[in-house]
């Protein structure tokens, strides 16, 4: 197979959500000496971009986005050992969490996956994450962005608590804060002093990319 | 027209007939007992109670529950031992669980599973065994008792679990990390085989429901179009609703499904279902389909609105404004009832403010009537 063929298989395999095709193409491509960065970026990431487009156009649903990301994860598992530290420069770190008392994780996981696909290093703290744990992670990892998800009106107030705690720890100026989840409105985001409320995962990820690409990038 | 009772109001609207006033009620499972609740009920708020018409028995399955520690967290582990293998789930509970409304905590949160029954492909076979050894027996006592207690104060509905594919997505496989979607893509045969087994095993349950003393048979399906996308809805939910509807309609009963998520993408498909009542529909900003639009799209259906928690959190003024706007949107107000909440507890002040708007919502609603209500509230 030619290089183009391997890359096309990887890309199409992602678009068609085909675990078998992607794992096979990745295995064969690595055995044939294909550059792992090309396999990732021109193969799988290019496929994910098409999946993202289809999602935005309403041709694909969230489930397809989730499955495509999983297919990519399996492909990545094959390619990663060949990377030997030669990966492209990342976009920076993001600390992500579903706030304390809240166990909804679908939205957060999708955002996490898409951020990783874009090249962010994401520290995913999981669900039901207490405020001090988020602050601790910000201190430890020094991310450019903190992302929070809440799906309950009971728990969304915790996002405000985190922002206040960031201020108290003199960390607020060092990070951008992006929040999301069903009950979270722009008014609410403004009221607690978040930088952005994401309407959906793709829009939120675009915002994150814009932040780190902009001159006021704070890292 | 003599004044209708709260029960008559809910049922008239649910049958598509005109009630004397816009029916509004509180679900018992989210309701406090106290002065505000009493005041609102005296001012026209009804009550709704959901209870089952059947009991469930598992044959040749030994169920053991024990508390265990998982990563420093105490959970309740329920293990199902069967001749073809064992599976377990872990459940986390908040304080108050089991001490007041069923399995709800003081904050009104049900237990949530931290480990699902399906963890690996081998687990499907065990679950199928359990499903095929599940027996449903009619037991109308809980419904009869609630009907006797409530009388004309409200409505008792026959409560059914998630429909088969939703049982898999929400309860058994779970959607955390997209697990359901991944299993559905990777092991379609296992998922579909189990789906068919559940659907088959539920048939007696639908017959029992149809003959129950309840007027409304309610499937607590928690439909959200982001999770249950149109492809899944068409393939696995619509056929099951058809199947359920046959015996239910055969006995002249109403069939409802709980659709509390964002259902805009499903609106055309929902129109094609045999459902009589779309229950728990949340208007924006919680849901994404305005009630007025839903009413005009679903001409043969009735909507039981779930009042959005994202408005309550903004306080009584915003709640009053939203309630008045809702009235203006649904003029003349037919084919509609409003539930104080289908998800959360409601504060005393919000309960009273919604009541103060709705207690005078005589049907048919007109713009002038709503203006008068607004004026009377100051
Ligand atoms: C699925 C679901 C569940 C599942 C969760 C499974 C899981 N692993 O996450 C289960 C069944 C466990 C569940 C439990 C409960 N739920 Co629930 N649940 C839902 C439902 C139907 C869909 C949520 C969902 O996952 N959507 C799909 C995802 C992808 O969408 P999303 O989270 O909004 O994320 C998107 C965007 O918002 C954005 N986003 C989200 N977060 C972030 C963060 C960042 C940084 C960015 C950039 C973007 C972003 O990106 C995503 C993709 O575009 C909603 C209905 C609704 N209208 O939302 C109710 C809902 C959220 N649940 C509700 C309730 C009440 C509960 C319970 C309390 C019920 C109970 N009786 O116990 C429990 C709470 C348990 C707990 N402690 O958290 C209510 C909340 C109401 C309120 N006033 O707070 C809702 C709104 C239902 C309703 N109609 O009222 N639930």
For A196, the token pair is 């952005």
- CA-based max dimension of chain B: 69
* pTM of the model as a whole: 0.90
Instruction: Determine the pLDDT at residue A73.
Output: 87
Number of residue pairs across A and B with CB atoms under 8 Å? Answer: 61
H or E, element range at A137: helix A131-141
Which strands make up the sheet holding B85-92, listed edge to edge?
B62-70, B73-82, B85-92, B112-115
Is residue B89 within 8 A of residue B78, CB to CB? The reply is yes
Pocket test for ligand 1, best of A123, A151, A212 (most atoms within 8 A of CB): A151
Per-residue pLDDT, averaged over A98-104, amounts to 91
DSSP structure string for B231-246: HHIIIIIHHHHHHHHH
Residue B232 pLDDT level (bands cut at 50, 70, 90): very high
Model confidence pLDDT, tens digit, residues A126-175: 999 999 999 999 999 999 999 999 999 889 999 999 999 999 999 999 99
Give all domains of chain A, ordered by start, each with its CATH number: 3-87 (1.10.1240.10), 92-213 (3.40.50.280)
For B287, the token pair is 């849901």
**Long-range contacts of B141-145, Cβ-Cβ distance < 8 Å, separation of 24 or more:** B142/B51, B142/B52, B142/B53, B143/B51, B143/B52, B143/B53, B143/B212, B143/B213, B143/B214, B144/B213
Per-residue pLDDT, averaged over B105-119, amounts to 91
Instruction: Determine the pLDDT at residue A88.
Output: 54
Residue A89 has pLDDT above 80, yes or no: no
Taking alpha carbons only, the member of B18, B313, B119, B272 closest to residue A155 is B313
Model confidence pLDDT, tens digit, residues A190-201: 999 999 999 888
Rounded to whole angstroms, the Cα distance separating B2 from B14 reads 19
Give the start-to-end residue ranges of the domains of chain B: 6-57+133-160+202-377
Residue A219 has pLDDT above 50, yes or no: no
Instruction: Determine the pLDDT at residue B249.
Output: 98
Model confidence pLDDT, tens digit, residues B269-320: 999 999 999 999 999 988 999 999 999 999 999 999 999 998 998 899 999 9
Cβ separation A19–B186 shorter than 8 A: yes
- Taken in order B53, B58, B59, B63, the sign of the CA dihedral is negative
ipTM > 0.90 (yes/no): no
Instruction: Determine the pLDDT at residue B109.
Output: 86
- What average pLDDT does the structure give for chain A? 90
Q: Which of A66, A70, A183 sits opposite B286 (nearest CB)?
A: A183
Start-to-end CA distance of chain B, whole Å, equals 29
Backbone angles phi, psi at B245, to 5 degrees: -65, -35
Burial class (CB in 10 A: 0-12, 13-18, 19+), A23: middle
- What average pLDDT does the structure give for chain B? 96
Residue B360 pLDDT level (bands cut at 50, 70, 90): very high
Judging contacts by C-beta atoms under 8 Å, the chain B residues touching residue A183 are 285-286, 309-310, 313
Model confidence pLDDT, tens digit, residues A31-56: 999 999 899 889 998 999 899 889 88
Rounded to whole angstroms, the Cα distance separating B279 from A155 reads 25
Cβ separation A183–B175 shorter than 8 A: no
Q: How far is the CA of B323 from the centre of ligand 1 (A)?
A: 24
Residue A86 has pLDDT above 70, yes or no: no
DSSP structure string for A71-91: HHHHHHHHHGGG-TT-PPP--
Q: What percent of chain B has pLDDT over 70?
A: 100
Judging contacts by C-beta atoms under 8 Å, the chain B residues touching residue A105 are 176-177
Shortest CA distance from A105: residue in chain B = B176
Judging contacts by C-beta atoms under 8 Å, the chain B residues touching residue A19 are 185-186
For B270, the token pair is 């929902």
The residue among B62 and B71 whose pLDDT is bigger is B62
Judging contacts by C-beta atoms under 8 Å, the chain B residues touching residue A55 are none
Under CATH, what is the fold of the domain B6-57+133-160+202-377? Answer: TIM Barrel (3.20.20)
Residue A117 pLDDT level (bands cut at 50, 70, 90): confident
Pocket test for ligand 1, best of A146, A182, A186, A205 (most atoms within 8 A of CB): A182
- Taken in order A45, A50, A55, A60, the sign of the CA dihedral is negative
């Amino acid at each position: 197979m030619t290089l183009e063929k391997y890359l096309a298989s990887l890309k199409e395999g992602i678009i068609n959500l085909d675990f078998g095709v992607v794992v096979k193409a990745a295995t064969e491509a690595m055995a044939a000496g294909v550059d792992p960065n090309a396999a990732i970026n021109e193969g799988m990431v290019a496929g994910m971009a098409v999946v993202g487009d289809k999602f935005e156009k309403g041709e694909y649903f969230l489930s397809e986005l989730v499955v495509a990301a999983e297919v990519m994860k399996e492909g990545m598992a094959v390619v990663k050992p060949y990377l030997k530290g030669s990966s492209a420069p990342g976009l920076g770190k993001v600390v992500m969490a579903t706030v304390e008392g809240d166990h909804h994780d679908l939205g957060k996981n999708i955002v996490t996956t898409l951020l990783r696909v874009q090249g962010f290093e994401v520290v995913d703290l999981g669900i039901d994450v207490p405020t001090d744990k988020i602050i601790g992670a910000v201190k430890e990892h020094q991310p450019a962005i903190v992302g929070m998800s809440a799906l309950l009106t009971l728990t969304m107030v915790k996002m405000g608590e985190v922002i206040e705690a960031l201020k108290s720890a003199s960390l607020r100026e060092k990070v951008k804060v992006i929040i999301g989840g069903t009950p979270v409105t722009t008014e609410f985001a403004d009221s607690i002093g978040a930088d952005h409320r994401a309407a959906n995962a793709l829009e939120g990820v675009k915002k994150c990319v814009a932040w780190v690409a902009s001159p006021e990038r704070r890292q | 027209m003599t004044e209708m009772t709260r029960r008559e109001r809910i049922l008239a609207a649910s049958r598509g007939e005109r009630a004397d006033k816009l029916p509004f009620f509180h679900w018992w499972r989210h309701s406090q007992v106290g002065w505000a609740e009493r005041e609102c009920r005296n001012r026209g708020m009804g009550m709704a109670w959901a209870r089952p018409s059947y009991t469930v028995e598992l044959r040749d399955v030994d169920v053991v529950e024990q508390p265990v520690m998982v990563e420093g967290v105490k959970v309740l582990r329920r293990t199902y031992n069967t001749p073809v293998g064992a599976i377990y789930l872990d459940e986390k509970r908040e304080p108050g669980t089991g001490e007041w409304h069923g399995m709800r905590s003081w904050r009104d949160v049900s237990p949530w599973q931290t480990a699902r029954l399906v963890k690996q492909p081998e687990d499907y076979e065990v679950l199928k065994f359990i499903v095929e050894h599940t027996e449903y027996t009619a037991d109308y006592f809980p419904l009869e008792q609630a009907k006797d207690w409530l009388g004309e104060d409200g409505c008792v509905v026959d409560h059914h679990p998630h429909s088969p594919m939703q049982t898999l997505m929400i309860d058994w496989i779970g959607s955390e990390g997209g697990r359901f979607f991944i299993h559905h893509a990777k092991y379609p045969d296992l998922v579909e085989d189990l789906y068919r087994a559940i659907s088959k095993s539920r048939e007696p349950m639908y017959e029992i429901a149809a003959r129950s003393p309840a007027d409304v048979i309610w499937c607590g399906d928690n439909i959200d179009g982001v999770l249950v996308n149109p492809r899944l809805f068409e393939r696995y939910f619509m056929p099951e609703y058809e199947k359920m509807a046959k015996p239910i309609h055969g006995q002249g009963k109403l069939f409802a499904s709980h659709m509390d998520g964002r259902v805009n993408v499903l609106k055309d498909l929902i129109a094609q279902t045999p459902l009589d009542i779309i229950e728990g529909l949340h208007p924006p900003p919680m849901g994404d389909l305005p009630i007025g639009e839903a009413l005009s799209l679903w001409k043969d259906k009735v909507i039981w609105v779930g009042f959005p928690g994202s408005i309550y959190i903004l306080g009584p003024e915003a709640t009053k404004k939203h309630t008045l706007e809702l009235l203006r949107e649904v003029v003349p107000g037919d084919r509609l009832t409003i539930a104080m909440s289908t998800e959360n507890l409601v504060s005393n002040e919000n309960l009273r403010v919604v009541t103060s708007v709705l207690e005078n919502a005589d049907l048919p609603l007109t713009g002038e009537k709503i203006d008068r209500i607004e004026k009377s509230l100051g």
